[in-house]
Amino acid sequence: MSTILLVIQGWEPDAWLSRFRLLAGNREVALWPEAVDPARIDYVCVWRQPPGLLATFPNLKAIFSLGAGVDHLLQDTKLPDVPIVRIVDSDLTQRMVGYVVMHALLHQRQMKLYDAQQKERRWREHYEPPPCEIRVGIMGMGVMGQAAAKGLQAVGFSVAGWSRSVKNIAGVEMFFGEAGLEKLLVQTNILVCLLPLTLATKGILRYDLFRKLARGGALGGPFLINAGRGGLQVEDDILRALQNGTLAGASLDVFEIEPLPLSSALWAHSKVYITPHNAASSDPRALVGNIMAQIERHERGKPLQNQVDRKLGY
Ligand code: NDP
Ligand code: OXD
């Protein structure tokens, strides 16, 4: 009988524990820091584990991230040499598509303006550019990026994408590498960031990048939507860009420090939408079955899916 240990910090663990206990069959499920013989632990399912903890389990077979991103895991310099698996699940992906499409539409339909008008009980219609005249550029064309591209196209936006490796995606103009990024940016009215946080992407959303975005255009200036990771963005640069019109507005779901400190000027900024890192929340009702299916595959001697490349960091 195998043992699964849940190590969860920063999220409410109870729903995860009860869902795992429901679906784990005759396997034992424990919640860290409950005392379990470290030698008995076969699988760990983690969100922000204490660094060094996983190295204390000598018979570990695999590590499962409870989210799509694994930067929280890879910060640990003492990770045991076992496969790391991340979540790829239609529930998580659909949530992200909803977030990205909603925020692109909020900017295209000038909802900040209409919110302000509502507060003043003012009835006034403004010209609304059609989505096909707005070019959305997606940085990160993996699972989330590709699904978001389809969602954006479905409501009429013109979509382009940027990834590390070369790919062909029907109906999406694709760019790669540094030179490709410049080409994406100069034509982009709404920049969506769905990159993982790695050594190569840290701080990529900074002032000199914002300056390369398309000027003018149907929306009057470029918008930023970041639902990747807070470490991808330089918040002082976002504030500066908003202040001088280099950015016309932003939707931010992730932040350099989470929760976003009360002192951050982003909270009260009239051009910014803020959400508490819930663009695509991990829901145990959907995701535990996905992880259990992977554990069953592993126990049957089949390869684990969605393994992380430690060198690339995602
Ligand atoms: P994937 O691994 O499927 O996709 C990552 C994409 O980023 C790939 O297209 C990859 O390129 C590209 N990429 C990585 N590094 C570079 C680079 N240096 N230059 C250019 N492109 C690069 O991840 P997902 O789509 O599943 O998730 C993306 C991120 O979304 C997660 O890592 C996480 O941080 C974030 N996330 C946020 C959530 C939230 O609630 N805010 C919820 C879920 C995820 P290539 O295709 O060539 O490999
Ligand atoms: C994730 C997240 O990576 O919730 O899944 O941020």
User: Is 277 among the residues known to form the active site?
Assistant: yes
Whether 314 lines ligand 1, by a CB cut-off of 6 Å, is yes
Q: What is the pLDDT of residue 216?
A: 86
CA distance 217 to 297: 50
Domains identified in the chain and CATH numbers? 3-87+282-299 (3.40.50.720), 90-274 (3.40.50.720)
- What stretches in the chain show pLDDT beneath 50? none
Ligand number, closest to the Cα atom of 144: 1
Q: Where are the alpha helices (DSSP H) in the chain?
A: 14-23, 71-74, 90-108, 111-119, 143-154, 177-186, 207-210, 235-243, 284-299
CB-ligand 1 contact for 225 (6 Å cutoff): no
256-274 b/e (C-beta count within 10 Å ≥ 16 → b): beeebeeebebeebebbbe
- Summarised one tens digit per residue, pLDDT across range 146-174 is 999 999 999 999 999 999 999 999 999 99
| 250 CB-side CA count, 13 A | 30
Q: Is the CB of 29 under 6 A from ligand 1?
A: no
For a substitution probing ligand 1, which of 195, 232, 252 has the most ligand atoms within 8 Å of its CB? 195
Cα–ligand 1 centroid distance for 213 (angstroms): 21
- Order across the sheet with 249-252: list the strands: 173-176, 158-163, 135-139, 190-193, 223-226, 249-252, 272-274
Q: CA gyration radius for the chain?
A: 21
* SS3 at position 106: helix
**Euclidean distance between CA atoms 128 and 113, whole angstroms:** 12
Helix axes 111-119, 90-108, angle to 10 degrees: 70
Residue closest by Cα to atom 2 of ligand 2: 67
Q: Is the CB of 164 under 6 A from ligand 1?
A: yes
**What is the C-alpha to C-alpha distance for residues 101 and 174, in angstroms, rounded to an integer?**
19
Q: Compute the distance between CA of residue 64 and CA of residue 59 in angstroms, rounded to an integer.
A: 15
Task: Determine if ligand 1 sits within 6 Å of the CB of residue 72.
Answer: no
Q: Candidates 91, 164, 225, 274: which one to mutate for ligand 1, based on the most atoms within 8 Å of Cβ?
A: 164
The type of residue at 43 is Y
CA of 193 relative to ligand 1 center, distance in Å:
9
